[in-house]
Amino acid sequence: MGRNVRGCPALMAMKVLTLTLAVALASITTCPARAETGMASYYGGGRTSSGETSGPKGLTAAHRTLPFGTNVLVTNVGNGKAVIVRITDRGPYGRGRIIDVSRAAARELDMIEIGTTMVSVVRQ
């Protein structure tokens, strides 16, 4: 039932293409997510760039480039506390900041009193 691949160049090309595609897909799924590290601040909520209204209890964030709806893991580098937030807005506009998290997320990260903190952001 098996075919002789050596005798048919088209089948050989198909096998090579299939193997190449399989290796490429495997490398995509096993590549670790890139972490972005920098300063985070928090905001109180309101109307967002995505058209949603964020409330004080929502676990949301603003990021300059990530698509709306993207979930990211934000980890406070200083204390190890982490939270998953959904990108719903653009920003931050504060100099040197990589992400603005909602007040609820800031509470989870234990950064309310400080206002800003060093975080790691990993796309989920």
Length of the chain: 124
| Domain at 35-123: CATH architecture | Beta Barrel (2.40)
Residue 43 has pLDDT above 60, yes or no: yes
Which tokens go with 54?
């964020």
Can the peptide bond before residue 92 be classed as cis, meaning omega within 30 degrees of 0? yes
Distance CA 124, CA 113 (A): 27
**Would strands 60-62 and 53-54 be described as parallel, antiparallel, or unpaired?**
unpaired
Residue 93 has pLDDT above 90, yes or no: no
Under 8 Å between Cβ of 42 and 108: no
pLDDT for the residue numbered 47: 85
pLDDT for the residue numbered 78: 97
Most confident among 16-20, 23-27, 61-65 (mean pLDDT):
61-65
Residue 72 backbone phi and psi in degrees, to 5? -130, 145
Measuring CA to CA, which residue among 42, 41, 55 is closest to residue 97?
41
Q: Residues near 58 by Cβ (< 8 Å), separated by ≥ 6?
A: 45, 88, 102, 104
Under 8 Å between Cβ of 103 and 44: yes
- pLDDT tens-digit profile of 112-121? 999 999 999 9
Residue 12 has pLDDT above 90, yes or no: no
Residue 9 backbone phi and psi in degrees, to 5? -60, -35
pLDDT (mean) for 79-94: 95
